[in-house]
């Protein structure tokens, strides 16, 4: 089989690609790799999930695999992915497991591991888990220290919420968002209860939508992948701003008072300038991915900031940020990492700092977002193509070079296979939107010809 782990854990259609058996076997293999050296105590793991229906049986399978391997399990219940990362660290767990397919539709699900400290797994750890999975090692007999015990730890969500609010300067006893009316769309996902409570505790007047998960409606016509409901609610309620999360709340996008989208790149720009002004932007550097808008790069460079570029995926962002000890990184999709406060992208944390920046400046979000000019960007996703051909096709390479020559310095081209879905993505930026569309359509036709 091909490599099981993608850019964000193991994902697939629940019950077909991601079965209960695979989930249990992955848990056993993961326990063997992540539990650390033998000691006098059983290892401990935390496990969380989003509200997908399949999360219930997959969680049961993961918990069974861990406990049968001698790992004590603390079940966090329905909780955002970044909360699992945070609690892995503060509860001194040997590792954490999150069951979610993030922004993907309800039939999909995924399994993501966090190493000790709430860190993303390095490639070699994922490779070793796969090796053990294929070899079928582990999971037999009674563990030396006995089977693991399973306890409910859903109350630990309060610890995570307290942590978020404590990241704001001088936040104790204050209401930094007082007077601000906010609509928050929780995508019928993992943050459906925590996100509105966090904003209310910060002093905002909150209108919450996407807060009735039934297991099948996650990300359906709502959340960060479908902003129309949020835009309509912001305008209808006369709100100052709207916030959108995805199914596991590691993303944050925004909508201003006029219903205009403020995407991840614009949020990065706002936070970058705020951190720079506060003297908290390490080395005046921001880490972005190859998908970030050309306008963001130009705005940051014009302000004298250094831009470091990584492949798509917050694991790559985190790796570059940790290596350079940088404070801010993120993606256009709304995965934004504030490394002083989190080990991974955290939508709730991002929203809190974005809103606090707006409140602190006394300006509407629409004004803050003007720190960058967003270049027209056309993104076409193409299914049914052998993704391995993207890097090896001479015809595609020639087409990309021709597009880059025509665009010159006023545009940018990117063709890449998706790391989380069976798609090839074509992205073209240009000062002229018509030119961007034309070049994207031409490249998409070449990609479709690779099928």
Distance CA 115, CA 117 (A): 6
Among 326, 212, 191, 208, which residue's Cα sits nearest to residue 271?
Answer: 326
pLDDT of 199 strictly over 70: yes
Per-residue model confidence (pLDDT) at position 417:
87
291 and 402 part of one domain? no
Are 268 and 369 within 8 A, CB to CB?
Answer: no
149 and 27 part of one domain? yes
Distance CA 427, CA 425 (A): 6
Q: Is 391 within a domain?
A: yes
Averaged pLDDT of the chain: 93
Question: What share of the chain in percent tops pLDDT 90?
Answer: 83
Is 102 a residue of the active site?
A: yes
Residue at which a domain ends, from 212, 231, 259: 259
State the chain's maximal CA–CA distance in angstroms.
Answer: 66
pLDDT of 438 strictly over 70: yes
Full strand arrangement of the beta sheet holding 181-185: 205-209, 181-185, 241-244, 253-256, 261-262
pLDDT of 20 strictly over 60: yes
Parent domain of 405: 377-448
pLDDT of 37 strictly over 80: yes
pLDDT per residue over 385-418, tens digit each? 888 888 888 999 999 999 999 988 788 999 988 8
Q: Is 2 within a domain?
A: no
Question: What's 225's domain CATH number?
Answer: 3.40.120.10
Question: What's 440's domain CATH number?
Answer: 3.30.310.50
pLDDT per residue over 108-148, tens digit each? 999 999 999 999 999 899 999 999 999 886 667 889 899 99
Distance CA 351, CA 184 (A): 10
Among 138, 332, 306, 2, which residue's Cα sits nearest to residue 12?
Answer: 2
247 and 289 part of one domain? no
Are 287 and 312 within 8 A, CB to CB?
Answer: no
Taking CA atoms, 318 is separated from 119, 338, 340, in Å, by 9, 10, 12
80 and 98 part of one domain? yes
367 and 382 part of one domain? no
How confident is residue 371, by pLDDT bands cut at 50, 70 and 90? very high
Distance CA 430, CA 375 (A): 6
443 and 315 part of one domain? no
Number of domains within the chain: 4
**Marked catalytic residue, from 54, 68, 69, 102:** 102
pLDDT per residue over 65-115, tens digit each? 999 999 999 999 999 999 999 999 999 999 999 999 999 999 999 999 999
Residue at which a domain ends, from 225, 259, 293: 259
229 and 285 part of one domain? no
206 and 101 part of one domain? no
343 and 296 part of one domain? yes
123 and 52 part of one domain? yes
Using only C-alpha atoms, the chain has a radius of gyration, in whole angstroms, of 22
104 and 215 part of one domain? no
Work out the average pLDDT over 303-310. 96
């Amino acid at each position: 089989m091909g490599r099981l782990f993608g850019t964000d854990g193991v994902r697939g259609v629940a019950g077909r690609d991601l079965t209960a058996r695979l989930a249990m076997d992955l848990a056993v293999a993961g326990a063997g790799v992540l539990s650390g050296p033998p000691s006098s105590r059983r290892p401990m793991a935390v496990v969380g999930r989003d509200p997908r229906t399949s999360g219930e049986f997959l969680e049961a399978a993961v918990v069974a695999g861990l406990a049968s391997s001698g790992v004590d399990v603390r079940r966090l219940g329905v909780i955002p992915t970044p909360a699992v990362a945070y609690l892995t660290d503060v509860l001194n767990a040997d590792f954490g497991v999150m069951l979610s397919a993030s922004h993907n539709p309800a039939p999909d699900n995924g399994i993501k591991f966090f190493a000790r400290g709430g860190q993303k797994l390095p490639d070699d750890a994922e490779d070793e888990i796969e090796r053990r999975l294929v070899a079928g090692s582990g999971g037999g007999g009674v563990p030396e220290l006995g089977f693991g015990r399973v306890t409910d730890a859903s109350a630990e969500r309060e610890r995570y919420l307290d942590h978020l609010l404590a990241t704001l300067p001088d936040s104790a006893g204050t209401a930094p968002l007082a007077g601000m009316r906010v609509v928050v769309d929780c995508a019928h996902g993992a943050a459906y209860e925590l996100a509105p409570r966090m904003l209310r505790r910060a002093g905002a007047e909150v209108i919450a939508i996407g807060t009735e998960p039934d297991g099948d409606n996650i990300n359906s016509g709502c959340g960060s992948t479908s902003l129309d409901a949020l835009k309509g609610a912001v305008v209808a309620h006369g709100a100052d701003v709207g916030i959108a999360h995805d199914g596991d709340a590691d993303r944050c996008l925004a909508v201003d008072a006029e219903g205009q989208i403020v995407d991840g790149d614009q949020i990065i720009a706002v936070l970058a300038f705020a951190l720079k002004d506060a003297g908290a932007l390490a080395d005046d550097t921001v880490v972005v991915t190859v998908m970030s808008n050309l306008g963001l790069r130009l705005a940051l460079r014009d302000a004298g900031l250094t831009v470091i570029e990584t492949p798509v995926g917050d694991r790559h962002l985190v790796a570059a940020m940790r290596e350079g000890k940088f404070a801010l990184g993120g993606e256009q999709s709304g995965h934004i990492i504030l490394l002083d406060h989190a080990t991974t992208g955290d939508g709730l944390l991002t929203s809190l700092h974005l809103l606090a920046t707006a409140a602190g400046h006394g300006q509407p979000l629409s004004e803050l977002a003007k720190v960058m000019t967003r270049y027209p960007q056309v993104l076409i996703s193409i299914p049914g193509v052998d993704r391995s051909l993207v890097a090896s096709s001479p015809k595609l390479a020639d087409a990309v070079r021709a597009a880059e020559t025509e665009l010159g310095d006023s545009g940018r081209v990117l063709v890449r296979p998706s790391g989380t879905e069976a798609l090839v993505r074509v992205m073209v930026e240009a000062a002229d939107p018509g030119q961007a569309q034309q070049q994207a359509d031409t490249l998409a036709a070449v990609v479709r010809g690779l099928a």
